[in-house]
A and B are shown apart, each in its own frame.
Chain A
Amino acid sequence: MIINGVQIDDTFAEAFNMRGTRVIITAQNLKWAYHAANAMTGFATSVIGCGVEAGIERELSEHETPDGRPGVSILMFAMGSKVLMQQLETRMGQCILTCPTAAAFAGIASEDKINLGKNLRFFGDGYQTSKLFRDANGIAKRYWRVPVMDGEFLCEETTGMVRAIGGGNFLILATSQPAALAAAEAAIVAMKKIPNVIMPFPGGVVRSGSKVGSKYKTMFASTNDAFCPTLKGTTNTELSPEIESVMEIVIDGIGFEDIAESMRVGIQAICDLGKSSGVKRISAGNYGGKLGPHHFKLHEIMGNPTL
């Protein structure tokens, strides 16, 4: 398949099951909401080393937040519910509780609940108080008010936890490093408009895609040498001679359709740049179907703009 001069490989991205949650962070203004959210989603690029993958989903206006202040929504994903709970509580305690004027609320409804402020309240040392309010749908929700030095830290007791998918991805193969990065940036701009997904790596882009295993016994993942342009002559390369740089975009999302749609708009944004942008091919990372049950086939995704 070729779109606007860019070749789309007949391959698929392989993704796996995760557990996910959404938290709404509000503050006195967007600047402080971002300070809190950036701290909370920092060092959360990959479950391999960080425990969770997290990112800012989107900005929220005063009309979209529970307390009528500006805020952002955060998505957080982990391989299991236990890790997700631990990481959420730790990050809430160190990044949101500590951030001036910040408050945290549940961002997703589910029968599965995980703690948001349920244990953080004990920081109040007995001065904490709870309030039970009904939302616009008549559902009762408990909030904790913890006295802190800037006033009160307000936090909903729990948030929902849902089944999610991690590891959706595509690769951008270009004739130069600046060309690959410019294309990746264009894709990220388009993909950030899609709800229910995050691209957890720095700026949404990964340069160090990995393969499973290594020649070193202690390493269970190592550089994806087949896509390393400087190894074209020494390894079983996937790259043609003119490819000089490869960037990867990894996507985690609540549902299959969310990830597929974000991949579609991202790849389309790159293709819209045209052949002159230096992008030659779009490919995807998979492990022969052995890693995860979710396969995002590039030709199907790009052949169905209504996905």
Chain B
Amino acid sequence: MTALTFTLNKQLLFNINCSAVNPSNLAKKSMSEIASILINHGKNQLRVDEIFEITGKDTQNILFKNTNNKLDYLGANMTSGCVTVEGDAGAYLGFGLKNGKIHCKGNTQAFAACNMISGLIQIDGNTGDFLGGASSGLRKGMRGGTVIVKGNAGDRTGDQMRRGLILIEGDAGDYCASRMIAGTIGVLGEVGDYACFNMKRGTLLLTRLPTLHATIQDCGSHTLPFLNLMFKSFAPFNTKFSNIENPRVQRFVGDAACNGNGEVLLLLQGQ
């Protein structure tokens, strides 16, 4: 069965909330029911078939084509299936994702993987601020699952992250792992200023040391056996992190300003 394909064929003036168009929502719906789903566009409501050309049948395998950054909440709250975005995505990609896979082949706006609970998100391009963060008013961000970013991430990556794994192959902006509660963030590129600001627990795995503030304390170089398990857990994913083997790291702990016990592990190559 061919993927249920939504090809954007309308010039959007406003951002639209696409959360209704995900595998969990569309399961057991007929094509006419899918076409008649209403989506807010400014003050008006538009039918899905007024925004997208719809082809294909497999509701558990959804493909978005010709997309741009006005499509918010793609794959939001889905509990199963697979969403592929051939192009850019708006904000809140994979918002509250409970299970399933989302693959965005372009860039995304802010708050990707916000409130995510489980599942897998892969972003081939860059992503905006608050990757894996919490939506306004919530005290916990991402609570599980895995996010892989092939490009760069914006500021506040993993803000208030509670559990799960974020792997960024490019750079991360300022305040990376800020207010992090637990979980793991890995960055292969550069990290901006104020990393681990108010970090409570969790792990920030780095290859290059950023300027850390005074409340992140150097605890020396160590060979940590648990890293072998962590590296093995990267193996199923399509990421450069799967190639890391050396469990030798320099360990920094903080943020002492909030009595935190989080850690920065700087991978020591060739030791």
**Is A217 close to B, CB under 8 A?**
no
Digit string of B200-227 for contact with A (CB within 8 Å is 1, else 0)? Answer: 0101000000000000000000111110
Check A133–B201 contact: CB distance below 8 A.
Answer: no
**Is B229 close to A, CB under 8 A?**
yes
Digit string of A112-143 for contact with B (CB within 8 Å is 1, else 0)? Answer: 00000000000000110111111110100001
**Is B269 close to A, CB under 8 A?**
no
Check A133–B225 contact: CB distance below 8 A.
Answer: no
Return chain B residues, CB-CB under 8 Å to A301.
none
- What secondary structure prevails in chain B residues at the interface with A? mixed
CA distance A166 to B42 in the complex (A): 72
Return chain B residues, CB-CB under 8 Å to A152.
222, 224-226
Number of A-B contacts (CB under 8 A): 52
CA distance A67 to B232 in the complex (A): 9
CA distance A66 to B229 in the complex (A): 7
Check B184–A131 contact: CB distance below 8 A.
Answer: yes
Q: Across the interface, name the chain A residue whose C-beta is closest to B229.
A: A133
Q: Across the interface, name the chain B residue whose C-beta is closest to A127.
A: B261
Determine which of B223, B229, B236 lies in contact with A131 in the assembled complex, contact meaning CB atoms within 8 Å.
Answer: B229
Return chain A residues, CB-CB under 8 Å to B201.
129
Q: Across the interface, name the chain A residue whose C-beta is closest to B184.
A: A131
Check B225–A103 contact: CB distance below 8 A.
Answer: yes
**Is A69 close to B, CB under 8 A?**
yes
Return chain B residues, CB-CB under 8 Å to A26.
225
Check B232–A131 contact: CB distance below 8 A.
Answer: no
Count how many chain B residues have C-beta atoms less than 8 Å from C-beta atoms of the other chain: 19
Q: Across the interface, name the chain B residue whose C-beta is closest to A26.
A: B225
- What secondary structure prevails in chain A residues at the interface with B? strand
Return chain B residues, CB-CB under 8 Å to A151.
222-225
Return chain B residues, CB-CB under 8 Å to A135.
232-233
Beyond A131-B203, A131-B230, A133-B232, whether A154 also contacts B261 by CB under 8 A is: no
CA distance A133 to B226 in the complex (A): 10
Determine which of B225, B230, B236 lies in contact with A69 in the assembled complex, contact meaning CB atoms within 8 Å.
Answer: B225
Digit string of A97-115 for contact with B (CB within 8 Å is 1, else 0)? Answer: 0000001000000000000
Determine which of A126, A132, A134, A138 lies in contact with B261 in the assembled complex, contact meaning CB atoms within 8 Å.
Answer: A126
Determine which of A67, A127, A134, A138 lies in contact with B225 in the assembled complex, contact meaning CB atoms within 8 Å.
Answer: A67
Return chain B residues, CB-CB under 8 Å to A303.
none
CA distance A131 to B182 in the complex (A): 9
**Is A213 close to B, CB under 8 A?**
no
Interface residues in A203-247 by Cβ distance below 8 A to B read: none
Digit string of A246-261 for contact with B (CB within 8 Å is 1, else 0)? Answer: 0000000000000000
Q: Across the interface, name the chain A residue whose C-beta is closest to B222.
A: A151
**Is A145 close to B, CB under 8 A?**
yes
Return chain A residues, CB-CB under 8 Å to B261.
126-127, 129
**Is A68 close to B, CB under 8 A?**
yes
**Is B228 close to A, CB under 8 A?**
yes
CA distance A188 to B38 in the complex (A): 74
CA distance A66 to B233 in the complex (A): 10
CA distance A132 to B183 in the complex (A): 8
Check B263–A129 contact: CB distance below 8 A.
Answer: yes
Return chain B residues, CB-CB under 8 Å to A154.
225-226, 229
Check A132–B225 contact: CB distance below 8 A.
Answer: no
CA distance A132 to B202 in the complex (A): 11
Return chain B residues, CB-CB under 8 Å to A103.
225
CA distance A131 to B262 in the complex (A): 12
Check B163–A132 contact: CB distance below 8 A.
Answer: yes
CA distance A134 to B36 in the complex (A): 40
CA distance A67 to B263 in the complex (A): 21
Q: Across the interface, name the chain B residue whose C-beta is closest to A69.
A: B225
Check A131–B226 contact: CB distance below 8 A.
Answer: yes
Minimum CB–CB distance from B181 to chain A (whole Å) comes to 12
Check A133–B228 contact: CB distance below 8 A.
Answer: no
Return chain A residues, CB-CB under 8 Å to B235.
136
Minimum CB–CB distance from A104 to chain B (whole Å) comes to 11
CA distance A151 to B249 in the complex (A): 12
Return chain B residues, CB-CB under 8 Å to A136.
232, 235-236
Minimum CB–CB distance from A202 to chain B (whole Å) comes to 32
Check B222–A134 contact: CB distance below 8 A.
Answer: no
Minimum CB–CB distance from A124 to chain B (whole Å) comes to 10
Return chain A residues, CB-CB under 8 Å to B228.
66-69
17 A-B pairs besides A68-B228, A136-B232, A143-B226 with CB distance below 8 A are: A66-B228, A66-B232, A67-B225, A69-B225, A129-B201, A129-B263, A131-B226, A131-B229, A133-B229, A133-B233, A134-B236, A135-B232, A151-B223, A151-B224, A151-B225, A152-B224, A152-B225
Could you jot down 11 A-B contacts, CB within 8 Å? A67-B226, A126-B261, A129-B263, A131-B203, A132-B163, A136-B235, A143-B226, A145-B224, A151-B223, A151-B225, A152-B225
Q: Which residues of B contact A (CB under 8 A)?
A: 163, 182, 184, 201, 203, 222-226, 228-230, 232-233, 235-236, 261, 263
Give the 6 A-B CB pairs with smallest separation, nearest first. Answer: A133-B233, A67-B228, A68-B228, A154-B225, A154-B226, A67-B225
